[in-house]
Structures are given as C-alpha cells and as structure tokens.
Amino acid sequence: MMLHKDSVKALDVQSASYSSSSEKQKTLYKRTLFIVSISQVFGGAGLAAGVTVGALLAQEMLGTDAFAGLPSALFTLGSAGAALFVGTLSQRYGRRTGLTVGFIVGGLGAIGVVIAAIINSIFLLFASLLIYGAGTATNLQARYAGTDLANNKQRATAISLTMVFTTFGAVAGPNLVNVMGDFALSIGVPSLAGPFILSAVAYILAGLVLFIMLRPDPLIIAKMIEESKLKHNHREASSNTGRIENKRGVIVGATIMVLTQIVMVAIMTMTPVHMTHHGHGLGEIGLVIGFHIGAMYLPSLVTGFLVDKVGRTAIAIASGATLLLAGLLSAMAPGDSMILLVIALSLLGLGWNFGLISGTALIVDSTETSTRAKTQGRVDVLIALSGASGGVLSGMVVAYSSYSTLSFVGGILSLLLMPVVFWSRLVEVKSKLNNFLFYW
C-alpha cells in the first residue's frame, strides 16, 4: 500500500512538472514521436509479410484461388479484436503497455504461421493468422501515440511523422521476400514462410523498443496534465464537464477510414494472385507491393501538413478521387504490364493514406483525453472488420468473376466518401448558422 502511495505521489509530482512547463511538454512530445517512429520502422517490416505472401501461402496450402483472400481476412479479423484490446489496455495503463503487448502478440502469431507452414497445418495457419493480426492493429494504433501531447494544429502532422517511418520497414519487407525465402529454404522451412520469420523478429523488436524507451507514457502524462488544469481552474472545469464526445466527428472519421480500408484491402489482397496468373515472379510481386506500401506511408509527411493546413474535408475528398482512379487503372491495366500495375497500386496506397490521416485527425479532434484511447480502439475495430470483409469478398469476386471486376467495383465504392463528407460539412455549416442566429 505504501509503495502504491509513493508511486502515485511520484506521478503527481511528475505531472505537475509537465503541466507547469510548456517546454517540458514540447520535449516529451518530440521524444515520443522519435521513439514511436523507431518502433514503426520494425512494425512496418512486420506487417509487410502478410500483405505480400499471405495469399500465396494459403493458395499453395489449400490448392485453390477461391480462399486466397482468407489470410488477409483472418489477420485483419484478428486485428479487430486486438484493436479493442490494445485500445482498452492503453486507456487503462498507458500507450507503452498497450502497444508493447500488441506487438509481442503479433510476433508470436508470425512464429505460429512459420510452424504451420513447416507441418502443413491449415488449422494452425488460420489460428496463427488471427493472432498475427495483433501486430497490424498495434502498428495502426501507434499513430495515435504521437497525438497525445500535440495541439490542434499539430495532430495530423504528428500522425504523419510516425507513418513516414513505417515506410522504411514496410518497403524493405516486400523487397526481402526472395532473400527471406532463400533463408527459409536453407533452414528447412517452406520459402513462402520466410517473410513471416522477418515479421516475428520485427514485431518483437518493435514491442521491446516501446517497452524500454516509451517513458514517461505520453497518454498518462496527457491525462494528468488535463486533470491538473481542471483542478487549478474551476471555470474551465465547469465548462469541460459539459463537453461531450463529438459523435458526428467520430462517425465521419470512422466512415472515411472504413471505406478506404475496404477498397484498399480488397484490391491489394488479390494483386499478388493476379500477377502470379500472368507469369510474374515473387521478386516482381514484391516490387509492386513495395511501391504500394511505400505510397501508403511515405507521402504522410506532406499529407499531414495538408490535413492541418487545408483541412480534413478536402483531403478526404481527395482520398475518394484517388481511390477511384486506382480502381479504374487496375481494372484496365493488362496483367503483364508492370508499369501500370505499379502506378495503380501506388495510387491505391496514396488514396488510403489520404483517408487514414484525415479520418484519424477527425477522430482525435472529436474525443477527450479521458476516453480517447478506448474510442480509438473501437474505431480501429470497425476498420479491421471492414478490411476483413474486403479480404474475404475479394477472393470470391476474383474466383467467380475477375480481378478487373473487383478493381472496378472497388473504385466505384470509393465514391461513397463524397456524400459522407458533404453531409458533415452541411451539418457543420447549419450548426454555425444556428449559433449565429441565436447570438443575434
């Protein structure tokens, strides 16, 4: 009991030092971004394996294309449960605990996939892919950690900085497919399981970086700073008591991310299978997926700046337009054209990037520190479930129709972003008009 009181007292002193010093807050904000960015380099490498060879591994073990989208669906479904778990854990114990546990569990799932490939167990493969999904969910939730101590004009930029560093690992991962495949064969493991060895190491390293270095915890400090301000300012306390979560902002932000996730996952999942049917090798597939993942993360720095300066709505509309172009180009591109596939998949990644950063910024804008991590976890559950749906349906559409049909439908689906965003703007304008009329 005495130890608990001492630790609480130490935390109070720590929060007081941060709440009274804007310089210390800025320093911790920058330090948090740096540490999370390091972890994202490893996290990006970890997620790339499932994206690049997951469908091919299932195709090889099952002997059919109809369920080639199942691995993507499974690890995306696993990421749904993990998103809620990591969000709840982060809300209660801080980002450090939630993100560390998520990455370690994802690494264990990748180890399970490797064992499943060795013993040729479909059941173990599917179970391991569910667990592997924890790494995907954690990699996404890490983007929120940089926003905990950011002000309104820094939030999208903070998200983008962490995502830029994800690029280094995410692009390297697919381009190491052949290297890891050869390494796997040299130790008696099926070549398609090789990239999952890289995933296991990368995810576990990401978790260890956060566990060792993410101190003090940014979310805990942010909550304590807010509580400290409320204690010392009764007027602010009374006004904040009436503040509630902006549900419209959460709905719009979530919808933007859900739609972009469905379109991106559906087309991306079946691209390796489509390329295999047209005679492309693993190296070429890795190159296309590498460009795709690079476009998902590398433009983030510019995207974050634009979201903060131009606005969340404008970039969300740009997301829909870019995804439409990507879908149409994927549908019309000849299967043997590497250049057009690279361009189409790069546009697909860029459209997803626009949607994720603008939607995430809306979620952060619309939540309070006291409930933010939990709400973020719930939103990421929806994103993961939508990705799982896209993964399952993509395999079936291609098996019973074609890759072109899948891409065309995905592009058209992205147009749904437009009415959602316009509705949001219309409600906002009406609200401002009503406030103006009430004032006068």
Mean local confidence (pLDDT), 74-94: 87
Q: Give the whole-angstrom CA distance, residue 77 versus residue 79.
A: 5
Higher local confidence (pLDDT), 431 or 165: 165
Q: Give the whole-angstrom CA distance, residue 206 versus residue 18.
A: 27
Residue 187 burial class via C-beta count within 10 angstroms: exposed 0-12, middle 13-18, buried 19 and up? exposed
pLDDT at 67: 66
What is the chain's mean pLDDT, rounded? Answer: 83
Higher local confidence (pLDDT), 272 or 52: 272
**Residue 435 in this model has a pLDDT that exceeds 80:** no
pLDDT at 238: 44
CATH topology for 30-229+244-430?
Growth Hormone; Chain: A; (1.20.1250)
Looking at 65-69, 245-249, 306-310, which range is the least confident one? Answer: 65-69
Q: Give the whole-angstrom CA distance, residue 85 versus residue 99.
A: 10
Looking at 54-63, 88-97, 257-266, 316-325, which range is the least confident one? Answer: 54-63
247-277: pLDDT as tens digits: 888 899 999 999 999 999 999 988 988 898 8
> What Å distances lie between residue 306 and 152, 301, 318, 440, CA to CA?
14, 9, 11, 35
pLDDT at 169: 78
Percent of the chain scored above 70 by pLDDT? Answer: 85
pLDDT at 172: 76
Higher local confidence (pLDDT), 236 or 55: 55
Higher local confidence (pLDDT), 424 or 60: 60
pLDDT band at 229 (very low <50, low <70, confident <90, very high): low
Domain ranges in the chain are 30-229+244-430
pLDDT at 155: 83
pLDDT at 239: 45
Mean local confidence (pLDDT), 156-171: 81
Looking at 8-17, 173-182, 255-264, which range is the least confident one? Answer: 8-17
Find which of 91-95, 223-227, 391-395 is predicted with most confidence, using mean pLDDT.
91-95
Q: Give the whole-angstrom CA distance, residue 159 versus residue 150.
A: 10
